[in-house]
Amino acid sequence: MATLPNPLPALAADPGGRALGLRLPAGALVGTTAAGPWHEPLLWCARERARPGDRELLEPARRRGLLPVVLDAGGGHGGPDRWELAPADVSYPGDHDAEEVLAEYWQEHAADGVPWPGADTAPPAGRDPDAVAAEVADALLEDGGPLKDPRTALVPARRSADIPAAIGWTGAVHHEADPARLSAVLRDWEDRFGIRVAALGFDHLLVSVAAPPVTPADAEAVAAEHFAFCPDNVRHGADPDLRSYAEHQVLGRQTWHFWWD
C-alpha cells in the first residue's frame, strides 16, 4: 500500500513528540501484527483512558501526517497490540471503486433477485467535517459513552478514511479480509457525506458525519449502502428492515456505527 513517510519511528527516542512539535501523553508505539512484528510502527496509542478534549491535543499531529482516532481497548479484546492486525494483506484503497465494492457486497448478502439500488447522490453541503469529528469524539469520551476503554491514538495516513487500511485492521475479516476495500467505501463517504473515522474497536467502527441525509428517501438509499458495507448492522440490529434502519440510524445522524460478527 502506498503511504506517506511514517513519522512514528521518531517517537521511539522522543516519546513526548517534541521533535515533531507535539506534546503527547504517555503512550506506546504499536507494531505487533498477526504475523509478528511489523517493520515500522503502525500507530501510537495512549496508555491512559481518553477524556473529552484529548483529541484537541493531537490536532497538531496532522501537519506531520498523523491522524487522530479513538481506539476502544475494552470489551475483553484489549488494545491494538492484541487485535491481530494484518498490514501485509492490505492493498491500496485507491485501487478499488467504492460503487463496485458495495455492489459486490450487496450481491453476496441481499435476498436473491433484489438488484443493487446504486449509491445515493451527494447530500447538501454540511458542516466542517473535522469540527464535527472533534465534537463526536468528545461525546464518545463522556462518562457513560458507548466505548468501554477508549484511548487516543495517531495513525500515519493520507486521509481519515484510510485509517483501517493503514493499520491492517481485521475487525471485519469475516465480511471483508482486505480493509482497503472498506477504506475505498469510506473515501467515497468522506467525499459525499464528510465522514471521518472517529473510533475503531476490535470489531466495530464509528464514523462522524458532517452532511448526513436529510430526507427519508435519501436516508433509505444510504441505508442500502450500510447494509452492503455491514450486513450485521441490519440483520442483528434493533431495526428489522432498511426503512426502519434508515429512519433511526441514518436520517440526520452525525454518527454511523458499524459492527461485524
Task: State pLDDT tens for residues 25-40.
Answer: 999 999 999 999 999 9
State yes or no: pLDDT of 46 exceeds 70. Answer: yes
Please tell me the predicted confidence (pLDDT) of residue 113: 72
Which residue type, as a one-letter code, is found at position 75? G
Please state which of the ranges 2-11, 14-23, 199-208, 228-237 shows the lowest mean pLDDT.
2-11
Q: Quick one: pLDDT band at residue 112, thresholds 50, 70, 90?
A: confident
Higher-pLDDT residue of 99, 119: 99
Provide φ and ψ at 66, rounded to 5°: -115, 125
* Sequence-ordered list of residues with C-beta below 8 angstroms from that of 55, at least 6 positions apart, any chain: 68, 70, 134, 137, 138, 152
Q: Quick one: pLDDT band at residue 120, thresholds 50, 70, 90?
A: low
Task: State pLDDT tens for residues 129-178.
Answer: 999 999 999 999 988 788 999 999 999 999 999 999 999 999 999 999 99
Please tell me the predicted confidence (pLDDT) of residue 75: 86
Task: State pLDDT tens for residues 50-88.
Answer: 999 888 888 899 999 999 999 999 989 999 999 999 999
State yes or no: pLDDT of 3 exceeds 60. Answer: no
C-alpha to C-alpha distance for 86 and 170, rounded to whole angstroms = 7
Please tell me the predicted confidence (pLDDT) of residue 182: 98
From residue 153, alpha-carbon distances to 105, 124, 175, 196, 248 in Å are 30, 31, 25, 14, 30
Q: Mean pLDDT of all residues in the chain?
A: 92
User: Which residue(s) pair with 156 in the sheet?
Assistant: 66
C-alpha to C-alpha distance for 59 and 23, rounded to whole angstroms = 11
161 within 8 A of 191, measured Cβ to Cβ: no
* Sequence-ordered list of residues with C-beta below 8 angstroms from that of 235, at least 6 positions apart, any chain: none
Q: Residue 144: left if φ>0, alpha if ψ -120 to 50, beta else—which one?
A: left
State yes or no: pLDDT of 119 exceeds 80. Answer: no
The pLDDT > 70 percentage for the chain reads 97
User: Minimal CA–CA distance to 118: which of 137, 98, 88?
Assistant: 98
State yes or no: pLDDT of 124 exceeds 70. Answer: no
Percent helix, strand, coil in the chain (nearest 5)? 40, 15, 45
Please tell me the predicted confidence (pLDDT) of residue 2: 46
Task: State pLDDT tens for residues 186-229.
Answer: 999 999 999 999 999 999 999 999 999 999 999 999 999 999 99
